[in-house]
Copies of this chain bind each other. A is one copy, B any other.
Amino acid sequence: MSSDFPSPLADPTPKSPVILAAYKARAAAADLAPLPRSAKDDALLAMADALEVRTKEIVEANAEDVARARAAGTAESIVDRLTLTPERVRAIAADVRDVVALPDPVGEVVRGFTLPNGIDLRQVRVPLGVVGIIYEARPNVTVDAAALCLKSGNAVLLRGSSSAYASNQALVTVLRDAVGGSGLPADAVQLVPGESRESVRELMRARGMVDVLIPRGGASLIRTVVEESTVPVIETGTGNCHVYVDAQADLDMAVDILVNSKAQRPSVCNAAETLLVHRDIAARFLPRALDALAEAGVTVHADERVAAVAEQCGTKATVVPATLEDWETEYLSYDIAAAVVDDLDAAVGHIRLWSSGHTEAIVTSSQAAARRFTQLVDSTTVAVNASTRFTDGGQFGFGAEIGISTQKLHARGPMGLPELTSTKYVVTGDGHVR
């Protein structure tokens, strides 16, 4: 592109490696934006192929990270998340091919009208531009995020955990070679240079160069990004999810949904953390629920009314007294807080006060109760007679997920490809003036 005007890249002021990476990402994003789906899909297929062909160098680099983590005494569960095996790399490549199969959101006409004066107005999906992802020690996120951003026409700046730096460098090298080899700008996929916290800080202050930051990881990482970033942020992930069992509920269904919501995979954000039970059904439901939770290995943090029923029925469950803190805790473990509430509105009041706004489920056979709960609960997802565990891009049929937004702006709930886009208006006239 020729221009008579100076480029910021020609600006002689010295720039940090992070800011230079952001400039290169902007340039790549401008090239990606008008590309048709086929060009992007070709690059994605090249990425998947390259991951399989170059598995050895990826696994070797990962072995360095794993050795370092073990030497530092890292918990085995975190080492497991960090570890890449040839099978895992193959699975990651398969995920990239799944993204190829998804429709391209770019170019979709979201709304269109002819205005009274004859102007044609179209609101069209366009890429966001440069997306920054800040995440913890899961190298698969590196590839997932790169694939989803590329498919949606965005350049991505990846800032993974320093504990996965060697793995991420190897993965990004492979991805960039594949992207460049298929004729797209390699700078569409970049690892943020440097392992220091300062590089994260620079990324968070790169307003105007980075269009959005998506932090993925623990609550403290997300809080830091939300509070310190001048780049717009999409807040993800914290899930203090509730299951409310209404006065009229199928008890078998309620037990199934409760146990599934809590214990099918307790370490994830859509697992339930609090059980609320209508007082009219507490004496009948809780003995069965407590036994089922005990069988699933769940400890119950009970309010006085739950504790009273537990004592009366002599449950085999481990029941400990709940403190105020339990109501706001995201355990991510085999623990659940439990309370008896006077009615549906009291359940809603509890949820409003303590929920992180992720997912709340009601089990009820009453249409009126389902309707009221759905209207009053203000969370990304309200489930009626279904497990909280369904709040997930894959489950929702989005094909892939860049995260689950728990904020209200831009995207709320599981984010797929359309949530990685913005829109622009195209106004077409025949010389129209006001």
Q: Which residues of A contact B (CB under 8 A)?
A: 1-8, 30, 33-34, 113, 115-116, 119, 121, 123, 126, 128-129, 207, 211-212, 226-227, 230, 232-234, 250, 252-253, 256-257, 260-261, 264, 303, 324, 327, 339, 341-343, 345-346, 348-350, 352-354, 370, 374-376, 378-387, 389-391, 395-397, 407-410, 412-414, 422-434
Q: Is the CB of A339 within 8 A of B4?
A: yes
In the bound complex, residues from chain B placing their C-beta under 8 Å from that of A431 are: 250, 252-253, 256-257, 385-386
Which of A7, A113, A211, A230 has most chain B Cβ within 10 Å? Answer: A230
Q: Is the CB of A409 within 8 A of B3?
A: no
DSSP class of A's interface residues: helix, strand, loop or mixed? Answer: mixed
Q: Is the CB of A432 within 8 A of B2?
A: no
Interface pairs (12), CB distance under 8 Å: A4-B303, A4-B339, A5-B350, A30-B378, A126-B378, A250-B431, A253-B430, A370-B428, A385-B429, A387-B433, A389-B433, A413-B424
Q: Is the CB of A4 within 8 A of B391?
A: no
In the complex the two chains form, what is the Cα distance from A432 to B4 in whole Å? 62
Copies of this chain in its oligomeric complex? 2
Task: Evaluate whether A345 and B1 lie within 8 angstroms (CB atoms) in the complex, with A256-B431, A387-B433 already known.
Answer: yes
CB distance from A252 to the nearest CB of B (A): 8
CB distance from A268 to the nearest CB of B (A): 11
In the bound complex, residues from chain B placing their C-beta under 8 Å from that of A427 are: 381-384, 386, 390-391
Q: Is the CB of B386 within 8 A of A4?
A: no
In the complex the two chains form, what is the Cα distance from A128 to B341 in whole Å? 28
CB distance from A151 to the nearest CB of B (A): 17
CB distance from A31 to the nearest CB of B (A): 10
Task: Evaluate whether A386 and B345 lie within 8 angstroms (CB atoms) in the complex, with A232-B232, A352-B30, A422-B409 already known.
Answer: no
Q: Is the CB of A387 within 8 A of B434?
A: yes
Task: Evaluate whether A207 and B226 lie within 8 angstroms (CB atoms) in the complex, with A2-B346, A5-B327 already known.
Answer: yes
CB distance from A207 to the nearest CB of B (A): 7
Q: Is the CB of B4 within 8 A of A426?
A: no
Q: Is the CB of A115 within 8 A of B2?
A: no
Q: Is the CB of A3 within 8 A of B385?
A: no
Task: Evaluate whether A425 and B381 lie within 8 angstroms (CB atoms) in the complex, with A3-B349, A211-B408 already known.
Answer: yes
Task: Evaluate whether A353 and B3 lie within 8 angstroms (CB atoms) in the complex, with A129-B408, A260-B434 already known.
Answer: yes
Known A4-B350, A126-B378, A385-B431; further 9 A-B contacts with Cβ < 8 A? A2-B342, A30-B378, A119-B386, A207-B226, A253-B430, A374-B426, A381-B426, A385-B432, A386-B433
